[in-house]
Amino acid sequence: MPDFDIRPVTAKNWDDFTGLFEARGGPHYCWCSIHRFPVGHRRSNAEKKRGIHRLVKNAIPIGVLAYAGDVPVGWCSIAPRETYATLQRSRTMPRVTAAETPTWTVLCFFVPRPHRGGGVAHALLQGAISYARAQGARVVEGYPFDSAGIGSTHRGHSSVFKDAGFRREGRRWFLELDPA
């Protein structure tokens, strides 16, 4: 598997994030914001982008980018569960950890078509886990599309989660972390 550099999205690499999202085939229609804001699905694309930019400027984690050299080749949305507004009341993705357990959630992957099949998603998830651990997460959870009863492929495939050591419990996949 090629070596990828995984970096959290910050104000410093915001342009890389926007370049990836605005490229042909990129998820510029959602900005990975649907779950982050109340009624996020009703926002315009520009409002979604501004909302995500505001989170980044305020140092609120939104996810990680995979780089091949200096080129961003993938995205994984990972952040503290409580930063996803719609998860607070979700029936399909309910919280199963105690409120005091630092829990981070993986909700989205995007790898541009030319980079698919080369291990980017696996590297992204491993990097996302490392990032969450370094930020104090004790549990990382995910909801892969092929096992969660959710019909969206951007959530990642269960094999990626399984390969990273996640266990399945109902619709939820989770990984308990040792402290950093």
Look up the CATH number of the domain holding residue 22: 3.40.630.30
Note the pLDDT of residue 151: 42
What's the average model confidence in pLDDT over 82-106?
Answer: 90
| pLDDT of the residue at 28 | 80
pLDDT score recorded for residue 22: 94
**pLDDT at residue 24, rounded to an integer:** 85
pLDDT at 180: 59
pTM score of the predicted model: 0.91
Q: Between 147 and 48, where is the model more confident?
A: 48
Q: What pLDDT, on the 0 to 100 scale, is given for residue 74?
A: 95
Q: Which of 14-18, 60-64, 82-86, 131-135 has the lowest mean pLDDT?
A: 82-86
pLDDT at 105: 95
The number of distinct structural domains making up the chain is 1
Residue 12 domain boundaries:
5-176
**Closest to 65 measured CA to CA, from 104, 12, 102, 103:** 12
